[in-house]
Amino acid sequence: MKKILAFAGSNSSTSINFQLLTHLANRIQGHQVKIQDFTQYELPLYSADREKEKGIPLSATIINNIIKDHDALVIAVNEHNGNVSAYFKNMIDWLSRLNRNFLADKKILLISTSPGKRGAASALEYTKGILPRFGGQVIESFSFPSYHDNFKDGKMLNEVLDMGIQDVLTTFSHQLG
């Protein structure tokens, strides 16, 4: 049984990515899954000057230690204007300054959603490309389109998307061993 950490790259209190993440995390079988809300750990906007003057924020160290304590990650990637949110990018920036390989040996499942038909696909693709630079291995990814049309009250409304998600979750779980 592996320890899986599930978190969203959004700092919105009404994040649809966090809602979808919670649903998916609760469907993972045979592993210990922890759903984490990192918004309680405030990180100032990264700048080299800030780092030089005040060092790495304690919150970055706490987040790093939580990630380090898990074997695998499920990350819900939200999208702002065709890219990852500033919140998520800032988290990656601080974590990579603390430890360039903060994702070493982590197997990762990426998911994304948006109200639109592309399901935050641009942010998902960016994240798939960037996380291996920090030692992570992206095993699976899934872009969930048209969130409000396909998910309501904690349930999947589209059977084809539901089957696709189940396939991704099964493959991810098997890859963990």
Domains of the chain, each with CATH number or no CATH: 3-176 (3.40.50.360)
Give 4-41 pLDDT, tens digit per residue: 999 999 999 999 999 999 999 999 999 999 999 999 99
Give 31-61 pLDDT, tens digit per residue: 999 999 999 999 999 999 999 999 999 999 9
The average pLDDT across 98-110 equals 97
pLDDT of residue 168: 97
Q: Could you give the CA distance from residue 43 to residue 23 in angstroms, rounded to a whole number? A: 27
- Work out the mean pLDDT of the chain and round it to a whole number: 97
Helix boundaries (H) for the chain = 16-25, 48-54, 58-68, 86-98, 121-130, 147-150, 159-176
- What percent of the chain is modeled with pLDDT above 90? 99
